[in-house]
Amino acid sequence: MSVLLSVEQLTKRFDEELAVDNIGFEIGEGRCVALLGPNGAGKTTTIRMLTGLLQPTSGTIQFSGMKQGQDRREWIGYLPQTPAFYGWMTGREFLVYAGRLCGLSAKEAASRSNELLERVGIASAGKRKIGGYSGGMKQRLGLAQALIHRPRLLVLDEPVSALDPIGRREVMAMIGELKNETTVLFSTHVLHDAEELCDDILIMRRGQLSLAGSLATLREENREPVLSLEIEEDDHSRQWLAGWINKLPNGILATSETRGSVRLIAQDLETARRAVLKELTKSEVSLSKLEIGHSTLEDLFLKVVTAP
Amino acid sequence: MTKWLILFRKEWLEMIRSYKIVWLPISFIVLGASQPIATYFMPDILSSAGNMPEGAIISLPTPKPFEVLASSLQQFGVIGLLLIALSNMSALSLERSSGTAAMILVKPVSFVSFVTAKWAAILSLSMVSFLFGYSAAWYYTIALFDSVRWLEVLLSAMLFALWLGFVGTLALMFSSLIRSAAAAAFSALATAALLSIVSSTLPFKQVWNPGRLPTLAAGSLDTAQHINNSSLSVWLTAIVTAVAIAIALVIATGSMRSRPSDV
Ligand SMILES: Nc1ncnc2c1ncn2[C@@H]1O[C@H](COP(=O)(O)OP(=O)(O)OP(=O)(O)O)[C@@H](O)[C@H]1O
Ligand SMILES: [Mg+2]
């Protein structure tokens, strides 16, 4: 795997606050990387430094294979968290404008714009003023303008947060296609999306990089059997659950717990399964769901960001 | 260079779509025409005001044509300056705060082009508007009073246009430094006012002061007076102003480079 981007000791301090604290990572050519972290972790700040919109307090950002003095922005396509446009332009005009500013010829920019409007699903609105677009349409137009010059690195800051469930699925499918064409870095709060799409993950927490690596390795390393248990809403079952959680057998640990369900992490799956099933029959609990599987990215995320 | 033209074209398109291309020239034309017309009808206006004692005879000296033009320059120096400052006051701060700067400046566009294309577009419209307005003033002065030689008019127009351009550039520069549009307009106008007050009150000649330009422009209309102004000192003031405009553009570019966007 050849490295496309390397970031070293990147730091950003706002007046009082250390928004990004000495982080370093590499992005491999052709990889799809998810940047995760709770609100205020520093994801947007990191991304804005990569795109050159924010001067780092210290640290370096280096693209491999870039000529001396070449403009880093030529290789980057960027979709901000809330894309903004000139409301008086039409969607198509904005794409052509963006394309020409990236150095495309008038003809190229025009054909590329039509192609991308089609691709992001707003071809019919291409001739309408952007001022009249919905949030989801702006998000799609934002994606199109980020792609206009076929960037080597596509940077997307929460690309699906403004979309309805159908739109979210469509855009995730688009990103799924795009990751075969170029390198992608995207931030998201939807761990399920990250899990489905990306090769590598970066988890940030309070400005620091808490976890980085390929999804497959991290999963393997942190793989634990998980039993997830759901019960009916009757009083007997409720009381049983509340009581049982406090005296769990050895080797079983409750991670998250709601009124009618619990997720259990087990040291040894077989013993845990037997113990749980025995307990369930003995206490005559009305079980509604018992799922046995392995820890997900969400479990890992929660573990990392809630660690003291 | 192509990218500069694309940026420049976008600014013009924006001015067309927002009708700025209509209202700015019209404002200047109204402003320019109103002065000679109002001066011409002043005696009638006064006598019809009705609070004059019966039988009072109003005799105002008829102003010389160049005085009429000079007083219309005074109008441009107040309201015209205000119009220019208002149309520049949010040029850069709005792009930054709305997030459009973040969309454009992540593309391989030079900061110098981004700032100067905007500057050239707004200033070219302002200059054209001023020339229309001043031509209107000249036309009505000839029609209602007497002719003024075109050479003098041209010289005064150029000096005054330079002053307007200087203040417009100041407003653009302040719009990159100050988030609030009103504060940017105020800063530009206050600087302009300060410079011109300094130039007219301090008892020594200030070749370095762009604030002299409006006085020089008005003075150059008066054939009797402009012999006193050595043309060398006029040239020096013009050059100093041009350099100041360039410095203001460098500052605005530097400000955009160090902080391309707020969001
Ligand atoms: N311009 C700024 N001035 C001062 N502080 C800032 C600025 N921008 C961000 N911060 C601070 O830096 C921290 C990180 O913010 P950032 O926007 O990078 O978080 P994020 O991970 O993108 O969060 P979210 O998931 O909510 O988008 C926050 O605590 C924020 O208050
Ligand atoms: Mg963010």
Given a cut of 80, whether residue B58 has pLDDT beyond it is no
The SS3 call for residue A35 is: strand
B6, B100, B258: residue with CB nearest A101: B6
The pairing of strands A252-257 and A183-187 is unpaired
pLDDT of A180 reads 93
User: Tokens for A14?
Assistant: 């706002």
For ligand 1, whether the C-beta of A86 sits within 6 Å is no
Which among A94-108, A226-240, B199-213, B226-240 has the top mean pLDDT? A94-108
Q: Round to whole Å and give the CA distance between B185 and B171.
A: 6
The rounded mean pLDDT for chain B is: 91
**Which of A231-245, B87-101, B125-139 is the least confident region?**
A231-245
Which residues sit opposite A63 in a β-bridge? A5
How close is the Cα of B95 to the center of ligand 1, in Å?
A: 20
Q: Do residues B260 and B96 lie in contact, with contact meaning Cβ atoms separated by under 8 Å?
A: yes
The pTM of the full predicted model, rounded to 2 decimals, is 0.89
Give the closest residue (by CA) to ligand 1 atom 17.
Answer: A44
The one-character DSSP state at A164 is -
How close is the Cα of A204 to the center of ligand 2, in Å?
A: 12
Which among A126-130, A240-244, B234-238 has the top mean pLDDT? A126-130
Query: ipTM value of the model?
Result: 0.90
Q: Round to whole Å and give the CA distance between B90 and B31.
A: 24
A78, A82, A86: residue with CB nearest B106: A78
For ligand 1, whether the C-beta of A45 sits within 6 Å is yes
**Chain B contact for A40 (CB, 8 A cutoff):** no
Residues A124-143: what's their mean pLDDT?
95
User: Tokens for B66?
Assistant: 């160049």
Smallest CA–CA separation between B15 and chain A, in Å? Answer: 10
Give me the residues of A, 166-185, that contact B with CB < 8 A. Answer: none
Other beta carbons within 10 angstroms of residue A296's beta carbon come to: 15
Q: Round to whole Å and give the CA distance between B176 and B88.
A: 10
For ligand 1, whether the C-beta of A197 sits within 6 Å is no
pLDDT band at A260 (very low <50, low <70, confident <90, very high): confident
pLDDT band at A33 (very low <50, low <70, confident <90, very high): very high
pLDDT digit string, tens, across residues A221-253 = 888 888 888 888 888 888 888 888 888 888 788
pLDDT of A280 reads 85
**Chain B contact for A86 (CB, 8 A cutoff):** yes
Give the closest residue (by CA) to ligand 1 atom 28.
Answer: A40
For A142, name the nearest residue in chain B, comparing CA atoms only.
B103
Residues A162-191: what's their mean pLDDT?
92
- Residue A287 or B91, more confident: B91
- Indicate which of A12, A73, A86 best probes the interface with B, i.e. most B CBs within 10 Å of its own CB: A86
pLDDT of B224 reads 63
pLDDT band at A43 (very low <50, low <70, confident <90, very high): very high
**Chain B contact for A106 (CB, 8 A cutoff):** no
The rounded mean pLDDT for chain A is: 91
B107, B258, B261: residue with CB nearest A102: B107
CB contact under 8 A, A85 and B109: no
How close is the Cα of B202 to the center of ligand 1, in Å?
A: 51
Is A148 exposed, middle or buried, given 0-12, 13-18 or 19+ CB atoms closer than 10 A? Answer: buried
pLDDT of A116 reads 97
pLDDT of B52 reads 63
Q: Round to whole Å and give the CA distance between B187 and B185.
A: 5
B14, B107, B259: residue with CB nearest A73: B107
Given a cut of 60, whether residue B49 has pLDDT beyond it is yes
Q: Which residues of B touch A53 (CB under 8 A)?
A: 102, 105-106, 260-261
Residue A118, CB-side half-sphere exposure with 13 Å CA sphere: 6
All structural domains of chain B with their residue ranges: 2-258
Residues B55-72: what's their mean pLDDT?
80
Residues B121-132: what's their mean pLDDT?
97
For ligand 1, whether the C-beta of A17 sits within 6 Å is yes
Given a cut of 90, whether residue B207 has pLDDT beyond it is no
Mutational pocket test of ligand 1: of A10, A39, A44, the residue with most ligand atoms within 8 Å of the beta carbon: A44
For A126, phi then psi, to 5°, come to -60, -30
- Residue A46 or A281, more confident: A46
Given a cut of 80, whether residue B223 has pLDDT beyond it is no
